[in-house]
Structure 1
């Protein structure tokens, strides 16, 4: 965060990671944000203009060239996991439905380009966030269990498909850290990972790092209630939520591999990959894959009661 010396106005400066988004991708993100602000009631901070005419600036830091964008400052704080969270998730469901409705009707401007979040870019060894097998403390047994679940994921996705009413431009990272709540208001921030993905995936992103918390079923019900107050969310969409939760969880393993210095990376430790393997085994069991005697290592057997949403 920075403060203008002349006005005292607070602004947020986002420095983009090198070699992740090109200028055209960032300009496309900002175009969607501006369209959302003009044609919906979703609260999200505005990108700020610069003297160059482009909202994206290039700065040199040593041999690096970094792309930088400034945004309005938005008041509020991240909601906490607790008794009040279902109420916010109902609100989030309605906001998400509004974003999806906008995405479905918005005509993409010429030159619009954003990444596609699909099985190849999320959970393959060549994923955009790297190989999930490199997660901190990931064991061979855990990696094997997760790998066995991937054909089940692929089968579910193949049946579900990518028809336009199911797959389009989404925020893709509406987790708690990207929500700002204050009083009765909610703002959403950080469209840095917005791209083309399944609409239902936005719920999986919303519970990032909290997938095994006992409150998740309640959060799901609240989110669905809020979503359906604005737009249709079919039974087929709802039936896919567990699949998208597991996809997101595997993707987060890849994220942690390169973000061990982050708050989440410091806090989660080895439990994250272990619990991901438990989730994968439960997912397969629900789809008719038997748990063979001795299949799970002892520590996974002890934690086999970890709850999936």
Structure 2
């Protein structure tokens, strides 16, 4: 989510990457830093010269069980026909390694996943550049891929050790939501905090009512924003499963649509995504009626997220933007006075 971080000297970060690459027998190269967000991600070369992605995971965000579970699920999705990365095992057959703490780094986990060759769908805050016809095609493919992700996940039997976070009632509206207490986020003005706190009981009532509809629930990607969708030849590729876990399937749909609300062709994008999804998986009209609720819930998570990362560049500006968007959705889509 956050912008590339540059507090560490590049040589220091590359040195940490080389510590990880030793486990794959690949430490005879200079890894290329691609992004430093929740994780530091490098482009590396495998023994045969093919590119791959080395990930140094953010210390303390997910433990080794959750990260191993992510890789197991990605393997199942790839085996099911989705265009997603798959783990590359170490010399001794492990998918995940633990790097010891040093004077500079806390103990952290690392893995290598296969390279995806598509082009980013777009960047947050920048208008999509594709023509309307192409947007219809891409978001139709994305809807199909999302539905297949849900289909494959429902057919898959996770191992007993499988553990991932939950974007359930407590994960969204409980006392300690997965991405933080949005109504109690550091930096919020008192008036804004009160308005957000007032939303919680209203949203809790609406979410409980939605639960009683028997909404589709299971494993979801939970972060299919445009940076995590790569456009290939006749298909889309899905990357960055860092926040994937259990949740309502409408939350997956809402996550994709939220970041496109300002697009000139938003109606076309939404229509194509839903039509593509319905080509591969059932989605009732009653479920679709909960979309405004999940758009609002999703928007609130970003307030909690930025509040727990005050060192993120432009944190105050982002918080203000996320707050404005959430209150707009509350008013315009749910007609909740606040």
Q: TM-score, normalised by structure 2?
A: 0.76
Contact 1:42 1:95 survives alignment (8 Å): yes
Which of 204, 210, 213 lines up with 1:154 in the alignment? 204
Please give the per-residue CA displacement for 1:22-79, whole angstroms capped at 9, x wherever unaligned: 111111111111111112x210111100123220100124262101111111112211
Match of 2:93 among 45, 53, 75: 53
Give the Cα–Cα distance (whole angstroms) in 2 for the partners of residues 198 and 15 of structure 1: 29
Q: Which residue of 2 aligns with 1:307?
A: none
Q: Does 1:43 align with 2:93?
A: no
Name the CA distance, whole Å, in 2 between partners of 1:112 and 1:154.
28
Partners of 2:114 and 2:190 in 1: CA distance? 46
Shift of 1:190: 1.2
CA separation of 1:137 and 1:215: change in aligned 2, threshold 3 A: farther
Counterpart in 1 of 2:149? 99
- Partners of 2:312 and 2:332 in 1: CA distance: 28
Q: Distance in 1 between matches of 2:244 and 2:167?
A: 9
Task: List aligned pairs for 1:167-178, cutoff 5 A.
Answer: 167-178=217-228
Tell me which residue corresponds to 1:71. Answer: 113
What runs of 5+ residues in structure 1 fail to find an aligned partner? 297-309
The answer for the alignment partner of 1:240 in structure 2 is 290
**Larger CA deviation: 162-171 vs 187-196:** 162-171
Task: Indicate how the Cα distance of structure 1 residues 263 and 178 shifts in structure 2: closer, same or farther if over 3 A, else same.
Answer: farther
207-216 vs 152-161, which moves further: 207-216
CA contact (8 A) 2:217 2:247 kept: yes
Kept in 1: contact 2:74–2:84 (CA 8 A): yes
- Cα distance in 1 for partners of 2:194, 2:292 equals 20
Q: CA, structure 1 residues 148+105, in 2 after alignment: closer, same or farther (shift >3 Å)? A: same
Cα distance change, pair 204–265 in 1 and its aligned pair in 2 (3 A): farther
Question: Which residue of the partner structure matches residue 26 of structure 1?
Answer: 67
Which structure is higher in RCO with an 8 Å CA cutoff and minimum separation 6?
1
Q: Structure 2 regions of 5+ residues with no counterpart? A: 1-41, 123-127
Counterpart CA distance in 1 for 2:43 and 2:286 is: 45
Seen in structure 2, the aligned counterparts of structure 1 residues 131 and 210 have a Cα distance that, compared at 3 Å, is: farther
Tell me how far apart the structure 2 counterparts of residues 192 and 155 of structure 1 sit (CA, whole Å): 29
Equivalent-residue separation in structure 1 for 2:227 and 2:309 (angstroms): 15
How big is each residue's C-alpha offset from its partner over 1:161-180, in whole Å with a ceiling of 9 and x where there is no partner?
Answer: 27886111111111111111
Partner of 1:306: none
What secondary structure, in the 3-state scheme, does the structure 1 residue paired with 2:113 have? Answer: strand
Q: Distance in 1 between matches of 2:165 and 2:85?
A: 22
Would the alpha carbon gap of residues 136 and 262 (structure 1) be closer, same or farther in structure 2, given more than 3 Å must change? Answer: same
RMSD of the alignment, in Å?
A: 2.6
Partner of 2:58: 17
Q: How many residues align?
A: 287
CA 1:219 to 1:137, structure 2 compared with 1: closer, same or farther past 3 Å? farther
Could you tell me how far 1:216 is from its partner in structure 2?
A: 3.1
User: Could you tell me how far 1:213 is from its partner in structure 2?
Assistant: 4.2
TM-score (norm 1): 0.83
Do 1:45 and 1:72's aligned partners in 2 also have CA atoms closer than 8 Å?
yes
